[in-house]
Amino acid sequence: MSELRQNLATKEWVIIATERAQRPADFDDPRRPHTHARPSRVETCPFCPGNEHMSAPAVLEVLQDGRWQVRIVPNKYPALADHGGVERRLDGTARWMSGFGVHEILIESPEHNTTAALQEDPQVARALRALRQRQQQLERDPRLMMTLCFKNHGSAAGTSLEHPHCQMISVPVVPHHIRQRLADALAYHDERGTCVYCDMWRQELDAGLRVVAEGELFVAFLPYAALSPFHIWILPRRHAPIFTQISEPETEDLARVLRQVLARLYYGLHDPDFNFVIRSAPTHEEHSRSFHWYLSIVPKVTKIAGFELGSGMFINTALPEESARFLREVKLAG
């Protein structure tokens, strides 16, 4: 029969619908167009080399042999404006703030037809390093409380441009669900004296059932209460609450593990659309002993329906243990 599982870090309940569970291979769609089948350069793409005039001047560039490998540019249609101050008003039950913030695009590669799954480890590390450097710069602005780094790959994940890119949005507030996660992590630490995220990756390694890949400094696994098929977490073994605390050796190891995980999804499920988010604490929580940053990957192989919207619970029709085994068995090129 079906079962309910809870993620002790997020407190989210998930229904694992075993009676209508699908085999991992059922989420594959061979008809899906592959990223590598695109042209390497598109004349009208604002992120392709030679089209730099189509976007705002870069705020950060990584060069090699005089050519850029990674660029960070302001979003042409930003969700927030990076000028002016932070104004607040409260009128009865109506709370208002000025729309201050920073919204930028990290262009991961000069090649239009690539993604991290197809790249060499050093190129993935370049993008992560640029992400860290730019976020460190944004953290120095006292008006900004936190930065969210995320990637939308494919139309089902919300992307509007094919060229490989990530986004960063820095905001002057801490969203409620982030505050709740901080509170839940602190409660766990107060009760047990340990970090719930550290406990999770250690127990997942010991069990081995849901581990997808591991490096010397990072572990990738499907959570026991994975929200959806192939929902993956990548955690650093060293406790750190904020992504920008990542060291250079950790950056290189994360590049290897992230590329391998995404490659297993790419070849195992024919380049599925996905979102990934770097879950990091707000800047002022840099010394937190209870919160632990991580990277979450959610392939868009199912859809959210009325039950999920109404209850806040998810129905996962794939056993996390079987999904993890499927990914471990994917044959990677080379």
Average pLDDT, the chain: 94
Q: Rounded distance, CA 278 to CA 94, Å? A: 31
CA angle 326, 261, 159 (to 5 degrees): 110
For the chain, domain boundaries: 3-77+98-328
- Rounded to 5°, angle at Cα 205 from 203 and 207: 70
Token output for 63: 């060069």
Query: What is the separation of C-alpha 256 from the centre of its chain, rounded to a whole number of angstroms?
Result: 15
pLDDT, tens only, 207-234: 999 999 999 999 999 999 999 999 999 9
- Transcribe 109-125 into DSSP letters: -S-TT--GGGS-HHHHH
The yes-or-no verdict on residue 334 having pLDDT over 60 is: no
CA distances from 64 to 67, 125, 256 (A): 5, 14, 20
What is the per-residue pLDDT across 28-62, written as a single tens digit (0 to 9) for each? 777 788 899 999 999 999 999 999 999 999 999 99
The 8 Å CB, 24+ separation contacts for 247-251 are: 248/129, 249/217, 250/217, 250/218, 251/125, 251/128, 251/129, 251/132
Q: What is the pLDDT of residues 101-123, one digit of tens each?
A: 999 999 999 999 999 999 999 99
Instruction: Assess whether pLDDT exceeds 60 at residue 87.
Output: yes
- CATH class as words, domain 3-77+98-328: alpha beta
Closest Cα partner for 148 from 110, 104, 209, 192? Answer: 104
Give the model's confidence band at 84: pLDDT under 50 very low, under 70 low, under 90 confident, else very high: confident
The dihedrals phi and psi of 303, each to the nearest 5 degrees, come to -120, 150
